[in-house]
Amino acid sequence: MTDQRPQYGEFATPEEQRRLAGLPPMDAVVSAPVEPVAAAPAEKTAQPRRWDRIITIALLAYGLISVITTGISYLDLPTVMNETMKIMGIPGEFTNFAQGRLWGTIAAVVLAVGWVVTAWLSLRRLRTGKLTWWIPVVGAAVTMIVVGICVTVPMMADPAFVEYVSGLSSP
């Protein structure tokens, strides 16, 4: 006759299965106190700073006013260049009209896009309660560097300006 003993724990009770698996008894699991999991410091939600919100919104408002007034003047860049040359004491008039209009329009668009991106990033950080006042400052600086390059291109190709600069370098 063959051995009719159950194999693989077929008839074992849940308690016997836990004991054979090396696990604690069921009553020990149920009565064990549950320890609260401490949140990591990185997951801590940032507290909103009222002064940061006020400064950020004020900088964005000032930037918007500047973008509107400066962007409108860049749409007529040849006139702005003429006035700039007079202020700098450069003889002659700005005559690079085609590039002036093109690069003035590009500068105005860059100003608007720069402000929109800066405002979007600022609002995202404000919603999460993170320190934000520096975003409009950095956004303005980066935007003005790109705009400065756009305005410099037609100025450097203007004959009156080139003549003035070459006269400064010669003795």
pLDDT score of 34: 54
pLDDT score of 135: 97
pLDDT score of 168: 76
DSSP state of 41: G
Query: In the chain, where does DSSP find H-type helix?
Result: 14-20, 26-31, 50-74, 77-88, 97-128, 134-156, 159-169
pTM value > 0.85: no
Nearest residue to 119 (alpha-carbon basis) of 42, 32, 61, 46 = 61
* CA dihedral sign of residues 88, 93, 96, 102: positive
pLDDT score of 2: 60
Cα 152 to Cα 72: distance, rounded to the nearest angstrom: 18
pLDDT in tens, the chain (171 residues): 566 666 665 677 778 878 888 888 877 655 555 565 555 555 555 566 889 999 999 999 999 999 999 999 999 999 999 999 999 898 889 999 999 999 999 999 999 999 999 999 999 999 998 999 999 999 999 999 999 999 999 999 999 999 888 887 666
Tokens in use for 156?
């450097």
Nearest residue to 67 (alpha-carbon basis) of 102, 117, 103 = 117
For residue 95, give the amino acid letter. Answer: T
pLDDT score of 83: 92
Cα 1 to Cα 76: distance, rounded to the nearest angstrom: 108
Tokens in use for 152?
């410099």
Nearest residue to 85 (alpha-carbon basis) of 100, 71, 72, 106 = 100
Nearest residue to 53 (alpha-carbon basis) of 119, 120, 118, 132 = 132
Cα 151 to Cα 109: distance, rounded to the nearest angstrom: 12
